[in-house]
Amino acid sequence: MPSRFVQRRSPRDTSKAVRTTATAIPRQLDFPRRLMNKRSKKTATAKHRAPHSNPEAADLPGLVISNYGAALEIEDAQGQVHRCTTRKKAGTPVCGDRVRWQATGHGDEGVVLALEPRASLLVRPDARGQLKPMAANVDQLIIVCAPRQRGMDEDSPAGENDQALDAQLLDRYLVAAALCRIDALILVNKADLFSGAGRAEAEKLADIYRGIGYPVLFTAAKKHTGLPALIEALKNKTSIIAGQSGVGKSSLAKALHPEQDIRIGAVSTGSGAGRHTTTTAALYHLPSGGALIDSPGVRDFKLWQVSAAELAAGFVEFKRYAHQCRFNNCIHRKEPGCAVEEAARRHEIQPQRLASYRQIAAAMEAGTKRG
């Protein structure tokens, strides 16, 4: 069925006609979609053996549990771990990938021959804004945030230096998860650092996200509080921890799986931002079920450049009202007859969410003009 072009347009919009279909795939998702569906041109057959592989060895299924760049750790069906390199034409495996691999005959070494089709792929932009794969076959993104620790002035009243949770940063993570088609869970860690007023404000924000449909949990990993609910949410799923450095991602991983040797970084009292201690993405099987991917920390997550329509799609509560807008190409930024704006005025959509969307959209637009 051919795509249809919307001809009725907002008078303030000077862009090209918006192409829409019932199951339209955002243009910026072409990259993760290609990687999700990418398969090696040459499968692991006797005719196309990887260099230095054992011609007598069988091709085996495996799971990427660690990625060191040039080398991978592959877990086989029996739970044994093998150090592997990757065949050039096999693609770029990331943590969570299912692969076909072959033993080389030298101890536990092997070579990855092909990637299996991916169910999902979480991506993030690099320093140049190019999307790079972060983890594959992820069921849910655990977005970790935390209050900032008190500064050097210990005489200041408790809670004076509490930092309000960054709702716009949360929204950027949520948009990324939605565009990658991965469920999201918001986790407020180090909850014991909140003052009374700070905790009340955080609970108020949590209620907004719960009202949209996102689960929100409060934990204090080092004190082992709030963990039972998190453990239950992780069962039978592959989850990845994401969030700014210093929010306790590795501490959470260690609390969930104490037997693993996971590094935990100290937090600088000067900036409140933690040191980047997780340098290698790794997948851990949790004792209570499910798997957890702990990824390198990112100080400031930057959503890749997307169109206003794609950004709006990441604000999932807009969907109910967007088709009621006067103009089919309405981007909910002060256009006349905007049903999303009307819903925000009635508080059917939280006004701060619409404001956050507009701020992110404006930043995207400014970035495009600079580019």
**CATH code where residue 172 lies:** 3.40.50.300
Separation CA 365–CA 333 (nearest Å):
12
Banded model confidence at residue 105, pLDDT cuts 50, 70, 90: confident
Position 52 confidence tier, pLDDT thresholds 50, 70, 90? low
d(CA 226, CA 218): 6
| Residue 9 resides in a domain | no
133 closest CA partner among 145, 146, 123: 123
129 and 274 fall within a common domain:
yes
Would you say residue 1 lies in a domain? no
| Residue-level pLDDT at 229 | 96
| Residue 54 pLDDT > 60 | no
* Mean pLDDT of the region 50-65: 74
Could you tell me the pLDDT band of residue 163, with boundaries at 50, 70 and 90? low
Say how many CA atoms lie within 13 Å of 282 toward its Cβ. 17
Note the pLDDT tens digit of each residue in 3-20.
333 334 444 443 333 332
Spatial CA neighbour of 94 closest among 35, 136, 123, 38: 136
Q: β-pairing, 238-242 with 140-145?
A: parallel
In this prediction, residue 20 carries a pLDDT of: 29
* Residue 196, domain member (yes or no): yes
Give the separation between CA 361 and CA 41, rounded to whole angstroms: 39
- Among 106-115, 129-138, 264-273, the range scoring the smallest mean pLDDT is 264-273
Domain boundary among 261, 294, 327: 294
Residues 243 and 368 both lie in one domain: no
pLDDT band at 198 (very low <50, low <70, confident <90, very high): confident
Range of the domain at 67: 37-115
pTM (two decimals)? 0.76
Cα separation, 25 vs 28, in Å, equals 9
Give the end of a domain, one of 92, 115, 138. Answer: 115
Say which CATH number the domain at 323 has: 1.10.40.50
For residue 217, the cross-strand partners are 187
Compute the CA torsion angle 280, 92, 75, 237 (nearest 10 deg): 80
pLDDT at 18: 30
- Assigned domain for 8 exists: no
H or E element at residue 144 = strand 140-145
19-20 and 81-86 beta bridge pairing: unpaired
Q: How far is CA 13 from CA 99, 152, 186, 305, 335, in A?
A: 46, 50, 35, 19, 9
Please state which of the ranges 12-16, 293-297, 302-306, 344-348 shows the lowest mean pLDDT. 12-16
Residues facing 72 on adjacent strands: 67, 84
H or E element in which residue 359 lies: helix 351-370
Q: Specify if 23 maps to a domain.
A: no
Q: Over range 192-204, report the average pLDDT.
A: 89
Which residue type, as a one-letter code, is found at position 156? S
265 within a domain of the structure (yes/no)? yes
**Are 163 and 271 within one domain?**
yes
311 and 357 belong to one structural domain: yes
Using CA atoms, how far apart are residues 234 and 292, in angstroms rounded to an integer?
8
Total domains present in the chain = 3
346-353: average pLDDT: 96
Q: Mean pLDDT of all residues in the chain?
A: 78
Least confident segment among 17-26, 132-141, 149-158, 252-261: 17-26
Q: CA–CA separation, 27 vs 136, rounded Å?
A: 20
Q: What percent of the chain has pLDDT over 90?
A: 44
